[in-house]
Amino acid sequence: MEGIRSLRLITAVKTPYLPNGQFDLDSYDNLVDMQIAKGIEGILVAGSTGEGQLMTWSEQIMLIAHTVNCFGDKVKVVGNAGSNCTSEAIKATERGFAVGMNAALHINPYYGKTSLDGLVAHYNSVLSIGPIIVYNIPTRTNQDIPPSVVQTLAQSPNLVGVKECVGTERIKQYTDEGIVVWTGIDKMSHDARWDFGAVGVQSVASNLVPGLMRKLMFENKDVTLNSKLIPLFDWLSQEPVPIALNTALAQLGVIKPVFRLPHVPLPVDKRIEFINLVKQMGREHFVGEKDAQVLDDDDFIIVGRY
């Protein structure tokens, strides 16, 4: 448990696809290897960045198992097992731990939502199974998980901590109470880590610049580096994650330019912006070895059934 709580940099890893829309495990393994080579400590599998919402449960558990089997001796593996249906969340959590993940990430029930008492009951149902990270991102769920709920859940020894996306004051409140917190917002990560007590970040940007993100989380406060990264953070968040990330990784030649609907690539003017960012920041900081290039609309494959 303490090994998970001490992780400063977890990559919410992107799931690449083949032209038929199935998983491209060769590209996935290559991307994870690039993360490990730059010192990433943990991999979050099939979160919203990894498009778990576009997977069947069988696909999701298979990818968690694959990650554990291939990389579990090098990094901690956090598997997304969240659902708006408690029964499904329980089953996914049991299956994820059965295939060897170290912790489960759980978003609160969304769309249908529930009461605060329902939130506590939902989380207690999965906390009884194993180590759980609570994920609070109201911009996706339209329901905040307030401190009163987290404080109640913190009584369970299986609560690893919270992935918190509300703000730094909330992070400070939890860390003052001894609750472990990661931010899920790259733009917030530097200040959250060094000024508000967060242990680190569960990062989207580290898919692209793992070395710089490690430096940001490990090597003391660095306002200059953070300022250098802000334009990339802003570019990645202009549309819902992982639309920009998918576009970027394809233009770096790290993954095939394949999208599962309802995600589609960014328009060409935004693709050009990314290439200019790479030039400004230095190609050597980004994953992959191919020249970054602006892809044409016809280069992308959009898959509706897979």
Catalytic positions are 135, 163
Kindly tell me the sign of the dihedral angle through the C-alpha atoms of 57, 62, 64, 65.
positive
Helix, strand, coil % (nearest 5) of the chain?
Answer: 45, 15, 40
Kindly tell me the sign of the dihedral angle through the C-alpha atoms of 40, 207, 103, 195.
positive
Count Cα atoms within 13 angstroms, Cβ side, for 256. 19
- Of 74, 24, 38, the C-alpha closest to 211 is 38
What is the number of other CB atoms lying within 10 angstroms of the CB of residue 198?
Answer: 28
Kindly tell me the sign of the dihedral angle through the C-alpha atoms of 182, 2, 52, 84.
negative
Alpha carbon distance 288, 254 (integer Å): 6
Alpha carbon distance 160, 103 (integer Å): 8
- Of 214, 177, 168, 216, the C-alpha closest to 195 is 168
Task: Please name the residue that has the structure tokens 């959009």.
Answer: 302
257 touches 27 (CB < 8 A) = no
